[in-house]
Copies of this chain bind each other. A is one copy, B any other.
Amino acid sequence: MKTNTSNPSLIAEGNSETTADTAQLISNDDASTSNYGQLNNHANFHDFDDDDLHGSHGVRRRQPLQKIEPGSMNVLSAKYESLDYDTCENHLLLDEERKRGYPFVVWKDIARWFIILLIGVITALIAFIIDICIEQFSNIKYKELKKSVDKYVLMDKLYIPYLLWVLSNICIVLIGSVLVAFVEPVAAGSGIPQVKCYLNGVKVPRVVRIKTLLVKAVGVITAVVGGLAGGKEGPMIHSGAVVAAGISQGKSTTFNKDFKIFQYFREDHEKRDFVSAGAAAGVSAAFGAPIGGVLFSLEEGTSFWNQALTWRTFFGTVVSTFTLNVVLSAYHGHPGELSYPGLLNLGKMEPFPFQFYELPVFILFGAIGGLLGALWNYINYRLAVFRIRYITAPYLRVIEACLVAAASATCGFLMMFLLNDCRPLGEDPTKVPLQLYCADGEYNSMAAIWFQTPEASVRSFLHDPIGSYQPWSMLLFVACYFLLSTWTFGLAVSSGLFIPNLLTGAAWGRLLAIAMQDMIPYCTINPAKYALIGAAAQLGGVVRMTISLTVIIIETTGQISNALPIIITLVVAKWTGDFFNEGIYDIHIQLAAVPLLPWEPPPLTHNIYASEVMSHPVFTLRTVENVGHIVELLKVVSYNGFPVVDPPLADETEVTTYKRLRGLILRSQLIVLLQNKLYNENANTAWSNFNVNMNMFRKEYPRYTSIDKLEISEWEKTCTIDLRPYMNPSPYTLPHRASLPRLFRLFRALGLRHLPIVNDVNEVVGMVTRKDIARYRVWRHRGHMGMEELLLSSEI
């Protein structure tokens, strides 16, 4: 197994010691997913009427021999397997449909709603547990630290509480970091890029396992309690996705347990729908934003729009918010009071009036947010490349996480100590007011910000009265937290970037409000208003979401009146940021070399033809095929789909001779057929086996045995299989003269995994997979655009 050196925050390498059971999986993925990639040689297979229309204009075409640098943005990994959303309409499916009829359709529909209900409830409960753990542990930690500060400040031995702080941070972060780095590397980061890839149709290994969920939950608690500049929102979204995958499939690979329920949902298509609902439920639980959850799932993840699915997703998010509100209100001592404002993460905002002439201010805020966001993304990107190149070993990653934990404490301590920003104790919401060097009856305002979770700090910036903070301390805080948060995202810990960016933005928003107040002293400027606008602008500049982010902010502050300013700010932030680079999630996805399909085909590519894009020669199977040949083929090549063709005439024996396409069969299907020994000695008694049904395939889904593990005797190899009852008899195909946009649209709209390319007489001449299409990528930079062709590599 090759050492995986891709972006650690998205797909981290497995450690040979602790992840021995997953190593097989990865190597299996490695082997089976290099779909046609390596063999793709861009041969000239044209028989068009007019070759003069060929030629690429303005395409940056990479040379295959160019050396691939780790951390390159221009490579696609051949390692990722695709999901297959196309239904295999073989005879078994028809049989099942006929036997079960409409009552089964109704029953499946009811089961779907029930599963969504479960997903909503469980996601909310997990979010609740994470919430409470973070709150309780943070309280304990900061109260102890306060005691220590109060004690040693009199003795002038402040280095003792400082060391205590550093040490506690490191110890707590160490737990999560070790878990992430050694046990489940895919649990690192926010999880949103991984979920986005999954929903786009790329199978990211181990991303929806229960083990990942456990590591993620513990990881995010340690990260936030450990004082890192990270949030819990991303991990909660990921948790929702895992819960959805687990419940809908009715089995767990981690616990090796099959509950034998919901078997009929064991296919990529159904699973994806549930995962998308789960991610939405996660957003909903993280922010108390049911509508924002649905929109997030649509804006960031979903490739397909379907009304029924959206309604189910909506139901899931409502259940999730409702459950969370019920348990949280009980926890806060207001049982059943579902409109208790303490249930909103950012606290209930007051409506603020705004005027027509404030429009330039909102646009300015948006532009600043876009610029700062682009800078944040750029720094984070450089850091990520550095990590991919040099911080590859798990222990190094743990050390880095501890370093950041120490740095966070140091930053906080220096700011509290050096900026003696004293404020009188009032009706301030801070839980741990620290006196430090302030006079009696005063507290250190920076300590109030640092001695709580980042989420509570955002609340402070959004709700504290005018004059709670000094401009200089705010400025230093912005600079400090901006750098800390961009350093933190991508560490070997589970933490998101929503809250840190909201905090940075709220801080500079408040700072600008103070500055404006100084410039226009005759009118009162509400700092809370601009803190909110700043928070939205900064986060929008980093993640580049608009609609879902607007709704999330509205729902989490419980105030719709502020919608228009927030929307304007977010749109400007997105435009400004997009001028420089892409959103942070897309940057990380590109660094991980994931073959993500964008929304639209690259423009001006109608002169790139399927014959250039496809890989060939194609390995085909005959409708009635020899078992030995199948075994041989599966062992030799690593492809996942094989066109089934008419039996060749007596004088044709080579597999590469083009044949009429009859269907498409998947590697997984062939393996299940071989496993169940569904072959006959006599080729003429085809499909006599009537007790074969779809459940045979569902039982194995999604992890099929490797061909090397099957034991097939020499005698068995002389048998034959009639593939016709099992194959997909009418796969979507395109002629070799179809253009790239045409391929792209078919692939994207239908969520395909394999697309056979045929010639004029319906003979298979090539195969197109996701990577062949994802290789063509459009770039936009500072108003210019063009198209580039990425390299495919099996090394990354």
Contact = CB atoms under 8 A, between A and B. Distances in A.
B105 A291 contact: no
B101 A550 contact: no
Contacts of A329: 356
Contact of A310 (B93, B310, B351, B547): B547
A594 to B, nearest CB: 17
Given A57-B98, A307-B299, A307-B599, A352 B336 contact: no
A784 interface: yes
A650 interface: no
Interface string A92-121: 011101100110011000000000000000
Given A58-B101, A761-B660, A547 B314 contact: yes
Contacts of A741: 87, 89
A567 interface: yes
B356 A336 contact: yes
Interface stretch (A223-231, A414-422, A463-471, A727-735): A727-735
Given A105-B785, A305-B305, A783-B106, A93 B299 contact: no
A439 interface: no
Contact of A603 (B105, B336, B758, B783): B105
A742 B729 CA distance: 11
A306 interface: yes
Interface stretch (A376-384, A472-480, A558-566): A558-566
A153 to B, nearest CB: 43
A599 B308 contact: yes
A607 interface: yes
Contacts of A318: 564, 567-568, 571
Contacts of A737: 729-730
A299 B730 CA distance: 32
Interface stretch (A12-20, A74-82, A155-163, A319-327): A319-327
A65 to B, nearest CB: 27
A742 B89 contact: yes
A299 B310 contact: yes
A164 interface: no
A290 B730 contact: no
A426 interface: no
Contacts of A783: 106
A53 interface: yes
A49 interface: yes
Contacts of A356: 326, 329, 335-338
Contact of A760 (B97, B302, B660): B660
Nearest to A110: B783
A339 interface: yes
A558 B350 CA distance: 12
A132 interface: no
Given A91-B53, A563-B290, A105 B353 contact: no
Nearest to A318: B567
A547 to B, nearest CB: 5
A741 B97 CA distance: 13
A338 B355 contact: yes
Given A335-B356, A339-B561, A102 B784 contact: yes
A259 interface: no
A662 B48 CA distance: 11
Given A314-B546, A353-B339, A730-B738, A102 B603 contact: yes
Interface string A340-362: 00000000000111111100000
Given A93-B606, A564-B338, A607-B97, A106 B761 contact: no
A343 to B, nearest CB: 10
Nearest to A783: B106
Interface stretch (A176-184, A430-438, A745-753): A745-753
Contacts of A555: 560, 563
Contact of A98 (B568, B603, B607, B735): B607
A354 B53 CA distance: 67
A338 B315 CA distance: 33
A302 B97 CA distance: 30
B49 A724 contact: yes
A721 interface: no
A298 interface: yes
A547 B295 CA distance: 10
Contact of A606 (B97, B355, B724): B97
Interface in A273-320: 290-291, 294-295, 298-299, 302-308, 310-311, 314-315, 318
Nearest to A749: B749
Given A89-B742, A325-B564, A102 B735 contact: no
A786 interface: yes
Contacts of A735: 730
A714 interface: no
A492 to B, nearest CB: 31
A263 interface: no
A660 B336 CA distance: 70
A604 interface: yes
A448 interface: no
A734 B738 contact: no
A337 B354 CA distance: 6
A654 interface: no
A730 B759 CA distance: 11
B742 A546 contact: no
A739 interface: yes
B290 A298 contact: no
A208 interface: no
Nearest to A745: B750
Contacts of A427: none
A306 B730 contact: no
Contacts of A4: none
A551 interface: yes
Contacts of A730: 734-735, 737-739, 742
A421 to B, nearest CB: 33
5 tightest Cβ-Cβ pairs between the two chains A and B: A305-B305, A336-B356, A749-B749, A730-B738, A105-B603
10 contacts: A89-B741, A306-B600, A308-B599, A315-B571, A325-B564, A555-B560, A660-B761, A730-B738, A730-B739, A749-B750
Given A555-B560, A729-B737, 10 more contacts: A49-B724, A50-B91, A58-B102, A291-B550, A305-B305, A314-B546, A318-B568, A321-B564, A336-B355, A560-B560
Interface of A: 49-50, 53, 57-58, 87, 89, 91, 93-95, 97-98, 101-102, 105-106, 290-291, 294-295, 298-299, 302-308, 310-311, 314-315, 318, 321-322, 325-326, 329, 335-339, 351-357, 546-547, 550-551, 554-555, 558-561, 563-564, 567-568, 571, 574, 599-600, 603-604, 606-607, 660, 662, 724, 729-730, 732-735, 737-739, 741-742, 745-746, 749-750, 758, 760-762, 783-786
